[in-house]
């Protein structure tokens, strides 16, 4: 190969030999910015201080949960589910100027296909929010909805925002639309830590075996979830969380031939609850993930589609708008654990949260821990010594399903309402996270 000749740079520059600058400065005409307003009126808090702002949950809303593939949302995209929830929050809170929303943070467990390309921004454009409202999509698997709320709350607490929306979505049906991308997993991970890719159902079996959670105990817990949810629904508590959504969907009109037809439908409730469930019926179900296992379709969370969004605000701004918040956001922690037992993540995240806030479980009035699987729910409850009377009091994902990115926001809306309903003070939202993590958030009723 021929070498290039060396480049010699001068040690001094003779300014007299350099090109002269123009004798006149060109004029630049700036166009007035008239279409974008960073605040609804004047900046609401021009004198920023270093003190942390109190953050409140003003409202939280969700769609009903529809069965994946067979349910009423099987033709509805994730961004449409989110835009519906955004518009519902605006309609329910007319004192809030849409232009005052300073960020939209959205959790989505799997960001592929229709859920890729910063879906949150698409949802904002589809909604009644002005184009000046920014948005971002984040993922920490099953904690994504709660993580988004924590991110928005921290942004407000820092003094760099006053109003934000956060939540989550998952269309498990939609994940299978389109052409899936293909890739190879990292070879060193496959060799040294293959459990990081273990299917969630198999991790639930690991927890059941390793910590001796029996099939009978799992089925009993699953029955409790179905029954508690049915009682809450009959009392009208669930309807408070849901904004009905009318859509077109593909319905099977002939089970024998599997003939389908596109029809109109309204999701105004959760489609998955089975209130007539019995222990005898649960006992007849075959293991879903391992031939000799104990995890079944009856004691695991169902596959479903849905979205939830939460309105967060600086307490002072809520007071100025005459709003009555539901709760204060008090903190959020995450922790890691072995991937093959990812279901026990809350066992590490909850004590970490309590330690930071100088609390004990005796100070906590309600705990909402996502029911991914009965095996991990039971182990977390008993390992942390949580009273079953304050644990998932309205049932959970085993009864109605778990759209991965959405559940954290749904649980937040449930918790803050239930704290107020019972006249209680402190509650925790927690969940296990795929690949070996746990998350926990603390809320205090207003």
Q: Which residues are identified as catalytic?
A: 142, 402, 432
DSSP lists the bridge partners of residue 142 as 140
Distance between CA 245 and CA 205 in Å, rounded?
Answer: 36
Torsion sign, CA atoms 108, 110, 111, 113: negative
Distance between CA 370 and CA 271 in Å, rounded?
Answer: 18
Q: Residue 190 to residues 110, 173, 359: CA-CA distances in angstroms?
A: 20, 28, 40
Are the C-beta atoms of residues 112 and 273 closer than 8 Å to each other? no
Contacts of 446 (CB under 8 A, 6+ apart): 56, 324, 325, 326, 327, 328, 420
Distance between CA 89 and CA 79 in Å, rounded?
Answer: 15
Look-up of token digits 């879906």: 119
Look-up of token digits 């959405």: 406
β-pair type (304-314, 135-138): unpaired
Within 13 Å, how many C-alpha atoms sit on residue 160's CB side? 6
């Amino acid at each position: 190969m021929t070498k290039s000749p060396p480049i010699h740079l001068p040690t001094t520059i003779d300014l007299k030999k350099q090109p002269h600058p123009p004798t006149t400065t060109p004029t630049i005409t700036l166009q007035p910015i008239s279409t974008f307003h960073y605040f609804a009126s004047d900046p609401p808090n021009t004198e920023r201080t270093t003190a942390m702002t109190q953050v409140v949950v003003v409202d939280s809303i969700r769609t009903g949960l529809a069965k994946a593939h067979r349910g009423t949302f099987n033709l509805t995209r994730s961004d449409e589910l989110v835009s519906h929830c955004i518009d519902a929050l605006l309609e329910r809170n007319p004192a809030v100027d849409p232009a005052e929303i300073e960020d939209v943070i959205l959790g989505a467990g799997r960001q592929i296909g229709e859920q890729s390309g910063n879906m949150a921004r698409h949802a904002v454009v589809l909604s009644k929010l002005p184009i000046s409202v920014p948005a971002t999509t984040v993922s920490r698997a099953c904690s994504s909805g709660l993580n988004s709320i924590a991110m928005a709350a921290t942004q407000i607490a820092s003094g760099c925002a006053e109003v934000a929306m956060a939540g989550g979505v998952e269309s498990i049906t939609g994940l299978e639309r389109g052409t899936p991308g293909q890739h190879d997993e990292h070879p060193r991970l496959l060799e040294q830590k293959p459990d990081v890719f273990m299917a969630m159902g198999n991790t639930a079996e690991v927890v059941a075996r390793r910590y001796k959670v029996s099939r009978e105990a799992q089925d009993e817990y699953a029955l409790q979830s179905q029954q508690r949810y049915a009682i809450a629904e009959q009392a009208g508590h669930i309807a408070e969380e849901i904004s009905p959504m009318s859509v077109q969907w593909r319905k099977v009109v002939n089970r024998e031939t599997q003939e389908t037809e596109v029809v109109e439908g309204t999701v105004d409730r959760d489609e998955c609850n089975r209130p007539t469930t019995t222990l005898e019926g649960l006992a007849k179900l075959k293991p879903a993930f391992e031939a000799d296992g104990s995890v079944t379709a009856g004691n695991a969370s169902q596959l479903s589609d849905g979205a939830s969004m939460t309105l967060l605000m600086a307490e002072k701004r809520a007071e100025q708008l005459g709003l009555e918040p539901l709760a204060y956001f008090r903190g959020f922690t995450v922790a890691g654990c072995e991937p093959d037992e990812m279901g026990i993540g809350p066992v590490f995240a909850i004590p970490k949260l309590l330690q930071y806030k100088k609390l004990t479980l005796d100070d906590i009035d309600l705990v909402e821990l996502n029911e991914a699987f009965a095996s991990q729910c039971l182990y977390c409850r008993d390992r942390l010594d949580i009273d079953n009377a304050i644990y998932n009091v309205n049932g959970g994902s085993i009864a109605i399903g778990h759209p991965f990115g959405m559940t954290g926001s749904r649980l937040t809306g449930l918790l803050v309402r239930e704290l107020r309903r019972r006249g209680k003070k402190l509650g925790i939202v927690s969940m296990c996270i795929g690949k070996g993590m746990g998350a926990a958030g603390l809320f205090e009723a207003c």
